Amino acid sequence: MRFINLKALNQKIIQSFNTKNFRYGGYAALLTVIAVAILVVLNLVAEQVPFKLDLSKNKIFSLSKQTYEIISDLDREITIYALYESGKETNEITEILKKYTDHTKKIRLKFVDPNKNPGFTKQYTKDNENLSLGSLIVESGKRFKVIPASNLYNFDYSNPYQPSVTSLAVEQCVTGAIMFVKSGKMPVIYSLEGHGEERLPFEIIKQLETENYELKSVNLYTSEMPEDIDILLINSPQRDLTVSEVEKIRNFLSNNGRAIILIDLLTGDLPNLQSLLRSYGIALQRMALVEGDSNHYIQNNPLWIQPDPGTHQIVDSLVSDKMPVIMPVAQGIEVLDVKKRSLNITPLLTTSASAWGKTDLNTTSLEKTKDAPQGPFNIAVAVTDQTPGEETAESKIVVVGNAMFLASELINSIPGNANFLINSFGWLQDQKVNLSIKPKSLLTLRLNINFFQTLVLSGVVVILIPLGVLSAGLIVWLRRRHL
């Protein structure tokens, strides 16, 4: 009797394996095991692959194409030292620095706590000055460059008592430092003075220092051309140069010299400087350029021209990055018909064909006259003068019929203006890659919604979504209940 009961029990157990409940439960268990196995494998793979996706609006944690080109061609080991207290590293800066080390094994990142290792920074400073926490040191061999912590950010000083951080300049500074320790050269720019020249704004000086330029000044009326000069900057002189000064500049340029000349329309006649320009096949057109195409000016002001870029190394990156240049109250640059055969003149920035020239500078009217010169006009040109018999020896000049484009308010709002100048210096120095990296904005935009939109969003989040989840759960429960 006991045997019969056991047999019946075994049959009952066997039959239970054939029920719908068991089959559905078995399938569910099998799917669960497979899903868990897939997740385990994915986690193991993810740990081995250092992949991160930058979802920030301004790609704060991504490097530019220019930086990748520069660090992909390194021929030496480079170490980046980050000075932080242990455990108090800045996450944003750390993430950006890791992008360099992730891309190439030739760059290493090391964190140093100056409090625990006070003697470390002495080898990188002068006169026992202290490096603040957050500073970076980029080193390769015996060459190094210190990046102060304050240089890694751009600030808005509209409220001098409480300046605010507007953007990150980490990539600008670090990539510039890498280029410096890689090339081992710091070009010297001499700014001409003695004629009421404009001083470069602080923002430009800071960026030039980031790009590894050394800035000095020279008065050619009282001294000779410096021996260590690489580039001569003539920034909107208010008075003409003397014949002697022009001769010194001419001799400098004839020996493969490099210069950039910025001249505002509001400057008076400069016959001696004009004679220098004419010897290089160009002449200033003393007239205010008025743009007739509304797509080529801003703020409803036809004097604030947005010129078309040409085809040249100086402006190529501006075109690819869609960075316009704004030239307020510019004058034209004429390319002379009669000039030396060794000269090569390339337009960099031009007006549209609808532009015209206002020759009467004493009137405020912008109405076009019958005899007004018609565009297009050159606003900026690049000139090379090839030395006969020598392929690599040449003089280089960049001439811009405007200097107001470097005003601080324009530099801060139109990045293309600063990059145009920086690119010009790079071309004059025979740089193959122009470092026109924009700071990453940290400004956040507030999303403003009205009362009705608030009600709709609240209804969706508080009522519709929970109801949808409950309904889906109820449907699944009812289906499983009737299996």
The Cβ of residue 45 has, within 10 Å, a number of other Cβ atoms equal to: 10
Q: What pLDDT score was predicted for residue 33? A: 81
Under 8 Å between Cβ of 363 and 319: no
Reported as a single tens digit per residue, the pLDDT across 319-329 is 887 889 999 99
Q: What pLDDT score was predicted for residue 391? A: 62
- Where b means 16+ CB within 10 Å and e means fewer, 406-421 reads bbeebbeebbbbbbbb
Going through 84-213 in order, the beta strands assigned E by DSSP cover: 107-112, 136-140, 143-147, 153-156, 164-168, 188-192
- Closest by CA to 421, choosing from 402, 439, 440, 394, is 402
In the chain, the largest separation of any two C-alpha atoms, in whole Å, equals 132
Please give the average per-residue pLDDT across 340-365, as a whole number.
88
Please give the average per-residue pLDDT across 185-209, as a whole number.
88
Q: What pLDDT score was predicted for residue 263? A: 93
Reported as a single tens digit per residue, the pLDDT across 19-38 is 555 555 666 677 778 888 88
Please give the average per-residue pLDDT across 270-294, as a whole number.
92
pLDDT at 411 over 90: no
Q: What pLDDT score was predicted for residue 465? A: 87
- Closest by CA to 312, choosing from 245, 381, 377, 362, is 381
Under 8 Å between Cβ of 403 and 263: yes
Q: What pLDDT score was predicted for residue 413? A: 80
Q: What pLDDT score was predicted for residue 91? A: 83
Q: DSSP H helical segments within 293-355, as ranges?
A: 313-320
Q: Which residue has the tokens 């010009």?
A: 424
Half-sphere exposure of 480 (CA within 13 A, CB side): 11
Helix (H) or strand (E) holding 417: helix 415-428
pTM of the complete model: 0.68
Q: What pLDDT score was predicted for residue 128? A: 62
Q: Tell me the pLDDT band of 457, cut-offs 50, 70 and 90.
A: confident
Under 8 Å between Cβ of 406 and 204: yes
Please give the average per-residue pLDDT across 134-143, as a whole number.
86
Q: What pLDDT score was predicted for residue 1? A: 46
